[in-house]
Amino acid sequence: MSTEGAMSRSRLLPSLLGILLLLMGLALLAGGIKLSTLGGSLYYLLAGIGLALTGVLLIMARRAALGLYALVLFASTVWALWEVGLDWWQLVPRLAMLFALGIVMLLPWFRRPLLTPDASPMGSRALGAAVVIAGITALASQFTSPGEIKGQLDRDSVPGMTNTAPAMPDGDWNSYGRSAHGDRYSPLAQITPENVSKLEPAWTYRTGDLPGPNDPGETTAENTPLKVNGMLYVCTPHSQVIALEPETGKEIWRFDPKLSTQKAENFKGWAHMTCRGVTYHDDAVYTSAEQSPTGAASTTPASTVCPRRIFLPTADTRLIALNADTGKMCEDFGDKGQVDLTANIGGFTAGGYYSTSPPAVTQNLVVIGGHVTDNVSTDEPSGVIRAYDVHTGELVWNWDSGNPDDTTPIAEGQTYTRNSPNMWSMFAVDEKLGMLYLPMGNQTPDQFGGFRTPESEKYAAGLTALDIATGKVRWYFQFTHHDLWDMDVGGQPTLMDLKTADGVKPAVLASTKQGSIYVLDRSNGQPIVPIKEIPVPQGAVEGDFTSPTQPMSDLNFVPPVLEERDMWGVTPFDQMLCRIDFKSLRYEGMFTPPSLQGSIVYPGNFGVFDWGGISVDPVRQIAFVNPSYMAFKSKLVPAAEVAGGPGRKSETEGVQPNKGAPYGVILEALLSPMGLPCQAPAWGYVAAVDLTNNKTLWMHKNGTVRDSSPVPIPLSMGVPSLGGAFTTASGLAFLSGTLDQYLRAYDVKNGKQLWEGRLPAGAQTTPMTYTGKDGKQYVLVVAGGHGSLGTKQGDYVIAYKLPD
């Protein structure tokens, strides 16, 4: 082989890399020019020039390429440290690719064709130094934990504080939040921080309820089962109820309501198929003054047909009463066991109105709200709250926030106020105070409020306390004024007695999408933790307005305002595109108004906290929370252009029509071209709050990208979670709602993860715990996946226990 041929072949690799660097440089240069015209960073423009010139020099086999690349890598390292410091995941898109290419260029077989025997080695030495500096930076970042708080709770109890939730057997879980107080706290202590690592599956049951071809929308499994009456009660996305044996998972009975689709198969994308839970009622609890939560026996006679009953809300707008022992419909309730919830609400798009959450139940009433599909039109069903006689199904009172003072049962032929704010989440109940607590939504459409009524403005996006007996408003507190961001209150309010500097107070804690946890005296609605009105961005579209201020609690997990440097990606290229997207959108911090330009909504409409709520330990006086951080973007579309748009695919895809309003809206997560969040991780945490001083005890990123990245590598980046947690007297917390398929256990004192169990599907649910007849404590989770989040779907109910 000739010397010339050998030399030509040896230069092939540098030439190929040169072509690659030239193309990379041109791409960064083009994007950098765009970003700079938007007022963004000049780095990408300059780095693009540097990489392109390096590529040209490599193609020409010039040794100066090494020195120039060294300059690019060193400058990039300095720039990265200036922007984000020693944050590993922020450094990855800025330096990882450049670092790897630098190592390749240092290899002897790569450098040799570029150097003559008498060539100066300065270029390779400079590149070696730049690689070492970048490597040391990466290594140093492994010892930092940006965004995390390390701490330790130093107590097992607060003197004098006990669990004051309604009494039940320690081993039961008889309400969605375990008790009507929504505390998600169990007094069980058999499973402890010391032995939880030994947990193993006890049994698995498959419901058989999987997404079907004729489902009207996304199938989402969000159920928390009940354990009461010696059985487990599970509900499925298609509103089936299944009673299981708690110790074995053996099916005892099953009820299938035979859903009517209301022709909703013609309206795919308009509705969800979900059932968060059912509600249990036992007449014996209320006929005995000793057992009654109020301390007084009910004067209402017990049912001879169904003394113990399960109340089931269905996806086809019914409320059904079932015999809790047999699963048969209670013939004495409503029309042979069911009440038609379409009564008096007027017309609606198929699938656009039904109850996704369990009703509340008291000694003689079952009370229910309803889900109204967002952003369809300005003429949607009422958000009325209705109370029915627990035995007969007769309407006792109705509270319509559009007509709040008249709670007398509506007359036949009349219609509740159209489009009044609704309550789609879970109630909390204090029977001793005689109050129901309603986490309120808002009047649709969410992003345009120019047509809202004074009544809807008054009660929307806050907490309303109703008198149980009459439905009259006892007090209310609004958490978002003139909500234009879908900041409805999603989580079940949590009731507990709270030790304060002014003595023990009956508190209600409301977690919210914007990150504030509002702590009010539940007897009168007065703040226990200070709430301040803060100035917020102004400038709504024509025909609308913004509130000058918004209320923020001193107890909050509100994230810092996003900056361009917070934009993220796997490579410099998708990070650059995210930065271009960021600079192209309107963003002035939280509560930036929706716009025709497009606005960033951060926190997004999945919120910092959504329907999973929070869990409290009333004895230790702490709250266990799982905040998530995902930015969204909203863009208003003039009504004349809506018809020509891509159309609605779901509540977060396509153009939401908002028929009757001057604007439709496009709602999307702020994602990179690779489908990952544009803002830097972590996107999800677990944390604990000391409720005696409202300080965050500890906060750790939580979850991996194993089930949401193209390559299933369990990188611990901290991922969003949808669903809640529970805590136990032994000092444990359990959470399953993360985007990866795990149920995890944590030490509530320091947040250390003590155990995880791999699940066969997504578990965007709230797990629960109970004791079986065998005396064993079980931890149970429903793993069925979530259509909106795209997690793996299934039909699993899985129980864990310690080995025998």
Q: How confident is the model at residue 653 (pLDDT cuts 50, 70, 90)?
A: low
Instruction: Give pLDDT, residue 1.
Output: 46
* Exposed / middle / buried, residue 117 (Cβ in 10 Å: 0-12, 13-18, 19+): exposed
Q: What's the CA dihedral at 414, 420, 421, 427 to 10 degrees? A: -10
* 241 or 116, greater pLDDT: 241
Whole-angstrom distance, CA of residue 531 vs CA of residue 418? 32
Residues 6+ apart with CB under 8 A from 60: 18
Whole-angstrom distance, CA of residue 439 vs CA of residue 428? 9
Whole-angstrom distance, CA of residue 509 vs CA of residue 617? 13
Whole-angstrom distance, CA of residue 358 vs CA of residue 371? 12
Instruction: Give pLDDT, residue 616.
Output: 98
Q: How many residues does the chain have?
A: 804
Does the pLDDT value for residue 267 go beyond 50?
no
Angle between helices 122-141 and 97-106 (to 10 degrees): 140
Tokens (6 digits) for 588: 């002035």
> Do the Cβ atoms of 397 and 384 come closer than 8 Å?
no
H or E stretch including 39?
none
Does the pLDDT value for residue 464 go beyond 90?
yes
Provide the residue type at 575 as one letter: Q
Transcribe 313-376 into DSSP letters.
E-TTSEEEEEETTT--B-TTTBTTTEEETTTTS----TTSEE--SPPEE-SSEEEE--EE-TTS
Taking residue 210's Cβ as centre, other Cβ atoms within 10 Å add up to: 17
Provide the residue type at 780 as one letter: L
Averaged confidence pLDDT in the chain: 92
Query: Running DSSP on this structure, what letter comes out for residue 505?
Result: E
Which 3 state secondary structure label does DSSP give 779?
A: strand
For 312-362, the pLDDT digits (tens) are 999 999 999 999 999 999 999 999 999 999 999 998 887 788 999 999 999
H or E stretch including 210?
none
Residue 174, Cα to own-chain centre: how many angstroms? 24
Mean pLDDT computed over 743-771: 98
CA angle 143, 603, 727 (to 5 degrees): 70
Mean pLDDT computed over 743-757: 98
Residues 6+ apart with CB under 8 A from 778: 202, 246, 769, 770, 771, 772, 799, 800, 801
- Count CA within 13 A, CB hemisphere, residue 321: 30
In degrees and rounded to multiples of 5, residue 93 shows phi and psi of -70, -20
Taking residue 132's Cβ as centre, other Cβ atoms within 10 Å add up to: 11
Whole-angstrom distance, CA of residue 177 vs CA of residue 183? 6
Instruction: Give pLDDT, residue 63.
Output: 86
Provide the residue type at 371 as one letter: H
Transcribe 620-653 into DSSP letters.
TTEEEE--B---EEEEEEEHHHHTTS--EEETTE
Provide the residue type at 375 as one letter: N
Q: What's the CA dihedral at 746, 749, 751, 756 to 10 degrees? A: -10
Q: How confident is the model at residue 266 (pLDDT cuts 50, 70, 90)?
A: very low
Which 3 state secondary structure label does DSSP give 18?
A: helix
Which 3 state secondary structure label does DSSP give 596?
A: coil
Nearest to 727 by CA among 234, 20, 184: 184
Does the pLDDT value for residue 228 go beyond 90?
yes
Active site residues: 486
Whole-angstrom distance, CA of residue 239 vs CA of residue 247? 24
Q: pTM for the full model?
A: 0.94
For 409-438, the pLDDT digits (tens) are 999 999 999 999 999 999 999 999 999 999
Instruction: Give pLDDT, residue 112.
Output: 75
Does the pLDDT value for residue 445 go beyond 90?
yes
Taking residue 270's Cβ as centre, other Cβ atoms within 10 Å add up to: 19
Number of helices (H), then strands (E), belonging to the chain: the values are 12, 43
Helix (H), strand (E), coil (C) string for 519-556: EEECCCCCECCCEEEEECCCCCCCCCCCCCEEEEECCE
Transcribe 216-231 into DSSP letters.
SEEEB-----EEETTE
For 2-25, the pLDDT digits (tens) are 555 544 556 788 888 899 999 999
Instruction: Give pLDDT, residue 498.
Output: 97
Tokens (6 digits) for 256: 């299938």
* Exposed / middle / buried, residue 254 (Cβ in 10 Å: 0-12, 13-18, 19+): middle
How much of the chain, in percent, has pLDDT values that exceed 90?
Answer: 81
Transcribe 283-318 into DSSP letters.
HHHHH-TTT-TTSS--SSPPPSS-SEEEEEE-TTSE
Q: How confident is the model at residue 289 (pLDDT cuts 50, 70, 90)?
A: low
Tokens (6 digits) for 290: 């000793």
H or E stretch including 132?
helix 122-141
Taking residue 538's Cβ as centre, other Cβ atoms within 10 Å add up to: 13
> Do the Cβ atoms of 468 and 429 come closer than 8 Å?
yes
Instruction: Give pLDDT, residue 263.
Output: 47
Residue 605, Cα to own-chain centre: how many angstroms? 9
Whole-angstrom distance, CA of residue 71 vs CA of residue 445? 53
Does the pLDDT value for residue 784 go beyond 90?
yes
Whole-angstrom distance, CA of residue 200 vs CA of residue 803? 7
Which value, in Å, is the radius of gyration of the alpha carbons in the chain?
A: 29
Taking residue 671's Cβ as centre, other Cβ atoms within 10 Å add up to: 18
